[in-house]
Amino acid sequence: MPSAFDFAPFRRSTVGFDRLFELLENSASGQSQDNYPPFDLVKLGDNEFHISLAVAGFTQDEIDITAHQNQLIVSGQKREDNGATYIHRGIANRSFERRFGLADHITVTGADLRDGLLSIELTREIPEAMKPRKIDIGRGETHQLDAPLGDAERSKKTSKQLQDA
């Protein structure tokens, strides 16, 4: 299903934003997504983020966290029951997969499972080459740019430079 918004004018006038437009188009396509497990996404600072997922009933061995190509994938696979007979089962034990799109230079710095909450720490690490830097202005001679010369003028100037040398 195409999105209600046309990104064609933006695609024509930008370079390298294809992935962003694809994400916007896919999210607007009306795909219903399972809301399990519930999560919180918190911005702690300019470059620090925290994700908390409610994964009650899952152990550390049953959860897998993978960062791959600007995407964080958290999945859980419940192991077989130990043969217990449940009268009521209110704690979800179904398998899940939750995906989070990561911006460039976002890395996972840690994860912890405590009291039924999976906490994932994320940090934006901008490479030195991409950080703003001050450019010093030199105080040397000013150079005048020569006007474009025709072939005859260029050969006269070249022969004069050879005579002066």
The pLDDT confidence band at residue 155, using thresholds 50, 70 and 90, is low
Query: Between 85 and 16, where is the model more confident?
Result: 85
Question: Span 111-119, mean pLDDT?
Answer: 95
- Domains and their CATH numbers in the chain: 1-32 (no CATH), 35-81+89-130 (2.60.40.790)
Q: What is the mean pLDDT of the chain?
A: 80
3-state helix, strand, coil in the chain (%, to 5): 20, 30, 50
- pLDDT at residue 138 in the model: 86
For residue range 26-35, list pLDDT tens digits in order: 665 555 557 8
Taking only the tens place, the pLDDT of each residue in 43-91 is: 999 899 999 999 998 999 999 999 988 899 999 998 877 778 888 888 8
Identity (one letter) of the amino acid at 109? T
Residue 148 gets the label, from left (phi > 0), alpha (psi -120 to 50) or beta, of beta
| 2: pLDDT strictly greater than 60 | no
- The phi-psi region of residue 29 (left if phi > 0; otherwise alpha if psi is between -120 and 50; otherwise beta) is alpha
pTM here? 0.63
Tokens of 24: 């916007």
With a pLDDT cut of 70, the percent of the chain lying above it is: 78
Contact indicator for 51, 120 with CB cutoff of 8 Å: yes
Give 4's pLDDT tier (boundaries 50, 70, 90): low
Looking at residue 135, its pLDDT comes to 87
**Rounded Cα–Cα distance for residues 98 and 38 (Å):** 10
Q: Regarding predicted confidence, which is higher, 126 or 115?
A: 115
The mean-pLDDT minimum among 13-17, 44-48, 74-78, 96-100 falls in: 13-17
Q: What's the confidence (pLDDT) of residue 50?
A: 96
Q: CB under 8 Å, gap of 24 or more: what pairs does 21-30 form?
A: 23/101, 28/3, 28/4, 29/1, 29/2, 29/3, 30/1
